[in-house]
Chains A and B, each alone.
Chain A
Amino acid sequence: MNPLKKVTGRVAVLDRPDVDTDQIMPKQFLSRIERTGFGQFLFWDWRFEEDGTLRDDFPLNNPAVAGAKILLAGRNFGCGSSREHAPWGLQDYGFDVVIAPSFADIFASNCTKIGFLALRLPEAEVHALMAEVDGRNGSELTVDLETLTITSPAGRTIPFELDPSIQRRLVEGLDDIGLSMLQGAAISAFEAKRVPTPDTVALAARR
C-alpha cells in the first residue's frame, strides 16, 4: 500500500452520528469483483435522487468542498457491515482521512489495511473543528502522521493519538501479509502443537 505521511486538503463535514457502511457503500455496488472504482458510488442514496440528480441537501454535493481529502464526521462512524468496499469508496472518492469522535471496530481495522487514516479526536475537538471549517470557502487543514498533529483552518495545532504499530504501517506503507509471512516458522510451530479442528476438505468430500 502507498505510504500516508502528511495530508493537506479541503475538509468536508458530515455531522451525523452512527453513519453505517450501508450508507457509505450501498449493497447494490457490492457485486463488483474489482477493488477499484467505488468512489462513484459513495453515499449513493444520500448524494443522488432516484433519478440520478444530485441532492442539494447533502454536504458533499456542495461545490466548495469538491476535491476534499479530509472528512469530519460524527461518532461511531462506519458501523454495521464489515464491507471493506466502504473505505475503498472513501479513498477512491479522494479522501485520505476521516476524523471522528469514534469509529466502529471493523471499519477502523479495514482502514489501516489500505493506507487510509481513521483519526479519532475527542468529540468536543471534532465539534470545534467543524465550527472552524467554512464550507462556503472550502477551508483546508493538515494532518501530519509523523508528528501526530493536525493544523486547523485557524492555525491551531491539535495533537492526536495513534497506535504506534498502525502509525508505522501507514507512514511506511507496509504490507501486513508480507510481514506476517515472515512469521512462517512460528506459524508452523503453532500448527504442530495445536488441537486439530474439523477438516473442511474431508467434510466436503464426504456425501
Chain B
Amino acid sequence: MARTLFEKLWDNHVVTDEPGEPALLFIDLHLIHEVTTPQAFDGLRLAGRKVRRPDLTIGTMDHNTPTTGKPATNPLAVAQLDALAANCEEFGVPLFPLFSGREGIVHVIGPEQGLTQPGMTIVCGDSHTATHGAFGTLAFGIGTSEVEHVLATQTLLQRKPKSMRVHFEGKLPTGLTGKDMILGAIGQLGVAGGVGYAFEYTGEAIRALSMEGRMTVCNMSIEAGARAGMIAPDETTFAYLKGRPAAPQGADWDAAVERWRALASDEGATYDAEVVIDVRALEPQVSWGTNPGMVAPISGHIPNPADIADPGDRDALERALHYMDLKPGTAIRDIAIDRVFIGSCTNSRIEDLRAAAAVAAGRHVSPSVYAMVVPGSALIKKQAEEEGLDRIFTEAGFDWRYAGCSMCLAMNEDTLQPGERCASTSNRNFEGRQGRGGRTHLVSPEMAAAAAIAGHFVDVREFDLAAVGA
C-alpha cells in the first residue's frame, strides 16, 4: 500500500502498538539543552534510573547563554548551565559546552554535525525541533516529563498524529525566502490550523530551497500548531550532508543514500488533509500582531477590527493592536523600528547571514536603530568570520555577537525594553517574548537587514545586493 513519508517514518520506529494505548516509538536522537532538562535528570536520580542510550543523546548550551563571548554571570543562568554539565558528566551524556567550539543552538548543531539524517526520529525539549524535519525526519518538541521518559527508555509514548500535505504551488518569485513561504502559510492556515497534524511540505518551491531554507520552513511548523513538519530528502539533502562529521562514509554513504531515497511519499499515497499555498504572487512577509498568524505582505496594511464579524476574533485583534501600538490602516512600510535581531534557530545559518550581509554591505544602519547579528553556532560564527561577513556587518553598524538563542526568547541579557519595536528573524511575536512590553515583527534576514538600514519596513527587492560569502 502506498505510504507517505510520515507513515514510513512512523512505521519504522514503532516498538509496541497495543490496542487502545499510545504507540511506543523508538527515538534515534535526543537533543538536550540546559533549560528543559534539570528536572528530568532529577527525576532519574530520584528513581535510581540511568540514561539508556547516552550514545543517542547529545547536549549543548544555547538558551541561557550570553552572546558577549564571556561566561554567564547571572547566578540562575550559571546554576542552570552548571547543572547541565554535571548531569551530562554523571550520566555519561556527551556535551558541547559553551566555548567548546562546537556548541550552538540545538537545532543548528544537529544538522551542522551531520547528526540529523533522513529516516530518523529526533526529539528535544524545545518546540522548534521540527526544524530537523527538513532532512526527512520525524522530529518534534517534547516537555520535560517526556525528556525524562526518553532519557530512561530511549522511547516515547505517542498517539499517531494525522497527516497534512502543505503544498506550495508555483515558483517562488525572486527575492523571496523560505521565511516568507512559511509566514505566508501560517497566515493562511492560522496558528491552530495544524493542531493534531504532522505536516509534509511539498511542491516546486520547496524543492528549489536550500537546506537552510527548508529548515526555516520546517522550524515554524509549530507556529501553525503542527508538532512536526517534514520534507522528503533529495539531492539537495544528500549534498548538504556529505562529508559532515557524523555522516556515513564510503560504502556506508552509498547504502545510506539508497535507503534515504526510498523515504519519499509513494505515488498515490493519501493524506488526512491537504492545503495549497500559492506562492506565485507572494511578497515579502511582515508580522504585525502578537501571534505568527497575524502577518501581511510588505505592500499591506494593518487590518481594521471593525471589519471582523466574530466578537471573539475582533476582541483578540483589538488586544493585539493595542499591545503593538498600531492603528488600523497603517501601511506596513510606515512602521518605524528601534531594534533588529538577526538570529535564532529559524534564521541564523550561514546562508541567512550571507543574505543579510548582501543587503548590509556598503550601507549603514539607521541612526535610530540598534541592530544585532547572532550566529546560530560557534562554527557558523567562525565560518562567517572567515568569509568576512562579520566585517561587513560591523562596518555597516551591526553588532556582531557570540552564538546562542539570544533575543529569540530573551532568556539572557539580550532583551527589548518596554515599548521598543523590533524587526526579528526569529519565530514568535508573542506579547513580551523578546522582553516585557517589547513589540516583535517577524521577517526574513534580508527584510530585517533592509529594515535596519531604512529605519522602517521596506521591500528588500528594491535594494541592489552585494556579492558576499564563499
What's the Cα separation between A197 and B437 when bound, in Å?
44
Residue B348 lies at the interface, judged by CB distance under 8 Å to chain A: no
B246–A186 touching, CB < 8 Å: no
Residues in B with CB closer than 8 Å to A34 are 39
A200–B57 touching, CB < 8 Å: yes
Distance to closest chain B CB from A99 (angstroms): 16
Stretch at the interface among A14-22, A144-152, A154-162: A14-22
B56–A83 touching, CB < 8 Å: no
What's the Cα separation between A45 and B434 when bound, in Å?
13
B58–A200 touching, CB < 8 Å: yes
Residue A173 lies at the interface, judged by CB distance under 8 Å to chain B: no
What's the Cα separation between A76 and B291 when bound, in Å?
12
Stretch at the interface among A65-73, A89-97, A102-110, A135-143: A102-110
Distance to closest chain A CB from B149 (angstroms): 5
Distance to closest chain A CB from B124 (angstroms): 9
Residue A81 lies at the interface, judged by CB distance under 8 Å to chain B: yes
A197–B225 touching, CB < 8 Å: no
Residue B142 lies at the interface, judged by CB distance under 8 Å to chain A: yes
Residue B280 lies at the interface, judged by CB distance under 8 Å to chain A: no
Distance to closest chain B CB from A142 (angstroms): 26
What residue in chain B is nearest A199 (Cβ atoms)? B55
Q: Known contacts A113-B143, A165-B21; is A200 also within 8 Å of B94 by CB?
A: yes
Residue A183 lies at the interface, judged by CB distance under 8 Å to chain B: yes
Partner of B55, one of A23, A28, A74, A202: A202
Distance to closest chain B CB from A197 (angstroms): 4
Residue B245 lies at the interface, judged by CB distance under 8 Å to chain A: yes
What's the Cα separation between A164 and B117 when bound, in Å?
35
Residue B35 lies at the interface, judged by CB distance under 8 Å to chain A: yes
Distance to closest chain B CB from A154 (angstroms): 22
What's the Cα separation between A181 and B114 when bound, in Å?
30
Partner of B192, one of A18, A106, A113: A18
Distance to closest chain A CB from B293 (angstroms): 8
Q: Known contacts A22-B428, A113-B146, A180-B155; is A165 also within 8 Å of B22 by CB?
A: yes
A183–B246 touching, CB < 8 Å: no
Partner of A194, one of B26, B29, B316, B409: B26
What's the Cα separation between A81 and B428 when bound, in Å?
9
What residue in chain A is nearest B144 (Cβ atoms)? A84
Residue A31 lies at the interface, judged by CB distance under 8 Å to chain B: yes
Residue A114 lies at the interface, judged by CB distance under 8 Å to chain B: yes
A106–B312 touching, CB < 8 Å: no
Chain A, interface size: which category? 35 or more
Residues in A with CB closer than 8 Å to B22 are 165
| Residues B121-142 near A (CB distance < 8 A) | 125-127, 140-142
Partner of A74, one of B52, B80, B159, B312: B312
B74–A31 touching, CB < 8 Å: yes
| Residues A33-91 near B (CB distance < 8 A) | 33-35, 45, 50, 74-76, 79-85, 87
| Residues B294-351 near A (CB distance < 8 A) | 312-313, 315-316, 319
Residue A172 lies at the interface, judged by CB distance under 8 Å to chain B: no
Distance to closest chain A CB from B128 (angstroms): 9
| Residues B235-271 near A (CB distance < 8 A) | 245-246, 259
Residue A177 lies at the interface, judged by CB distance under 8 Å to chain B: yes
What residue in chain A is nearest B116 (Cβ atoms)? A198
Residues in A with CB closer than 8 Å to B192 are 18, 75-76, 79, 102, 104
State the 6 A-B residue pairs at the shortest beta-carbon distance, nearest first.
Answer: A204-B94, A113-B145, A110-B143, A84-B143, A31-B76, A33-B38
CB pairs A–B below 8 angstroms (14 shown): A31-B77, A35-B144, A80-B430, A83-B143, A84-B125, A106-B222, A165-B20, A177-B148, A180-B152, A198-B246, A199-B55, A200-B57, A203-B58, A203-B245
Q: What 10 new A-B contacts, CB under 8 Å, besides A31-B80, A186-B16? A: A18-B192, A23-B432, A33-B79, A76-B192, A106-B127, A177-B153, A181-B49, A181-B152, A201-B54, A205-B94
